[in-house]
């Protein structure tokens, strides 16, 4: 810590209102000094490595790189104290609790925030420097080991949290910083990346056929050869997608499931 009375703090969240909320709640806490705010993971990694803050409020769900990948990139040995901020990642909440790491579940109130600050103060004063390192490393190891066990996705919609089981998804489409889940004729937006989802989904059931599409193999009806080595992937609901020639090495898997 920079001094016994000052906790140098970095706020990381890609949503401006969320950063403003944390900034507002910290305004009346004289022992917390906000030294930086980061709106994306790349900026966060560079800032944390340079500034070495005492505390990071770190959003879990961010496009391109999520909060866990920020920790991996920085290195858990370089993290002093981290409070993870998440909206609806149930697996993450369970992991935080198992590894005794603090988190804030959006939306949180001032009382819950004050509880977190008390815990941060206590840990920074009394925990050995390598305590957080071992906790975060255990968390990252556990998350890595559990990546293929995802059985449902949760997301916000009109103030509600909805759940979709993995086997219900027909196909997935890239949409900027989001992905679109196509489920029985209904489309849901999820704030994640295609790469993250590809890594989480069971490889025996889902196949990425292009940079912008992942299909549930059980929903594939047929393949049609196109020009220049591409293939049309016809889904059972009639949707026509394109498997680009850069993904031809995955064709054998599709053919095996389509026989």
Does residue 259 have a pLDDT over 80?
Answer: no
pLDDT of residue 148: 45
Share the mean pLDDT of the chain.
83
pLDDT value at position 150?
63
Question: Of 35 and 104, which is predicted with more confidence?
Answer: 35
Residue 31 and residue 243: Cα distance in Å, rounded?
A: 55
Q: Which residue has the higher pLDDT, 135 or 97?
A: 135
CATH number of the domain that 75 lies in?
3.40.50.2300
Same domain, 11 and 137: yes
141 and 18 within one domain: yes
* Range name among 17-26, 175-184, 200-209 with the lowest pLDDT average: 200-209
Give percent above pLDDT 70 in the chain: 83
Q: Which pLDDT belongs to residue 138?
A: 76
2 inside domain:
no
Q: Which domain holds residue 33?
A: 7-145
Report the alpha-carbon distance of residue 75 to residue 246 in Å, rounded.
33
Q: How confident is the model at residue 49 (pLDDT cuts 50, 70, 90)?
A: very high
- CATH at 180: 2.40.50.1020
Q: Residue 86 and residue 55: Cα distance in Å, rounded?
A: 16
pLDDT more than 90, % of the chain: 36
3-state secondary structure labels for all residues of the chain? CCCCCCEEEEEECCCHHHHHHHHHHHCCCCCEEEEEEECCHHHHHHHHHHHCCCEEEEECCCCCCCHHHHHHHHCHHHCCCEEEEECCCHHHHHHHHHCCCCEEECCCCHHHHHHHHHHHHHHHHHCCCCHHHHHHHHHHHHHHHCHHHCCEEEEEECCEEEEEEHHHCCEEEEECCEEEEEECCEEEEECCCHHHHHHHCCCCCEEEEECCEEEEHHHEEEEEECHHHCEEEEECCCCEEEECHHHHHHHHHHHHHHC
Q: Is the pLDDT of residue 207 over 80?
A: yes
Where does residue 238 fall: left (phi above 0), alpha (psi -120 to 50 degrees), or beta otherwise?
A: left
Q: Are 184 and 221 in contact (CB under 8 A)?
A: no
Q: How many CB atoms neighbour CB 61 within 10 A?
A: 21
Range in 45-54, 208-217, 219-228 with the lowest mean pLDDT: 219-228
Q: What is the pLDDT of residues 64-114, one digit of tens each?
A: 778 888 888 888 777 888 998 987 666 566 667 666 678 888 889 999 999
Scanning the structure block, which residue is given the tokens 């340079």? 50
| Cis ω before 107 (30° cut-off from 0) | yes
Residues 23, 127 within the same domain: yes
Quick check: 2 pLDDT over 50? no
Give pLDDT, residue 234.
Answer: 92
Q: How confident is the model at residue 212 (pLDDT cuts 50, 70, 90)?
A: very high
Q: Do 127 and 32 fall into the same domain?
A: yes
Q: 13 pLDDT exceeds 90?
A: yes
Band of pLDDT at residue 4, cut at 50, 70 and 90: low
- 176 and 104 belong to one structural domain: no
Strands of the sheet containing 220-225, edge to edge, are 220-225, 231-235, 240-243
* Amino acid 25: pLDDT: 96
pLDDT class of 27 with cuts at 50, 70, 90: very high
Nearest Cα to Cα of residue 179 among 169, 161, 193: 193
Give domain status of residue 208, yes or no.
yes
Question: Does 202 share its domain with 139?
Answer: no
- Classify residue 245: in a domain, yes or no: yes
Residues 53 and 170 in one domain: no
CA dist list (Å): 83 to 86, 104, 149, 255: 10, 7, 25, 46
Residues 13 and 95 in one domain: yes
Clarify whether residues 40 and 121 are in a common domain.
yes
Q: Is 115 part of a structural domain of the chain?
A: yes
Residues 217, 101: one domain?
no
Nearest to 153 by CA among 170, 165, 169, 171: 165
Confidence (pLDDT) at 239: 94
Q: What is the pLDDT of residues 156-197, one digit of tens each?
A: 667 677 788 889 999 999 998 789 999 998 998 887 888 878
- For the chain, the domain total comes to 2
């Amino acid at each position: 810590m920079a001094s016994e009375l000052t906790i140098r703090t970095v706020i990381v969240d890609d949503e401006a209102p969320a950063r403003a909320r944390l900034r507002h709640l910290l305004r009346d806490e004289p022992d917390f000094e906000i030294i930086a705010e980061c709106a994306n993971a790349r900026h966060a990694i560079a800032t944390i490595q340079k500034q070495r803050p005492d505390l990071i409020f770190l959003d879990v769900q961010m496009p391109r790189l999520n909060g866990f990948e920020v920790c991996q990139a920085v290195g858990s040995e370089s993290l002093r104290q981290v409070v993870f901020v998440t909206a609806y990642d149930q697996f993450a909440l369970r992991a935080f609790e198992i590894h005794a790491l603090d988190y804030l579940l959006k939306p949180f109130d001032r009382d819950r925030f004050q509880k977190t600050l008390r815990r941060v103060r206590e840990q920074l004063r009394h925990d050995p420097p390598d305590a957080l390192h071992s906790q975060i490393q255990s968390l990252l190891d556990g998350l890595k080991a559990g990546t293929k066990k995802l059985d449902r996705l949760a997301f916000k919609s009109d103030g509600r949290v909805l759940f979709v089981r993995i086997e219900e998804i027909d196909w997935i489409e890239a949409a900027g910083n989001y992905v679109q889940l196509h489920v029985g004729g209904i489309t849901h937006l999820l704030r994640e990346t295609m790469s993250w989802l590809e890594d989480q989904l069971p490889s025996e059931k889902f196949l990425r056929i292009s940079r912008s599409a992942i299909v549930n193999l059980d929903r594939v009806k047929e393949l049609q050869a196109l020009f220049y080595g591409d293939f049309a992937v016809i889904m059972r609901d009639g949707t026509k997608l394109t498997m680009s020639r850069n993904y031809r090495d995955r064709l054998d898997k599709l053919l095996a499931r389509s026989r």
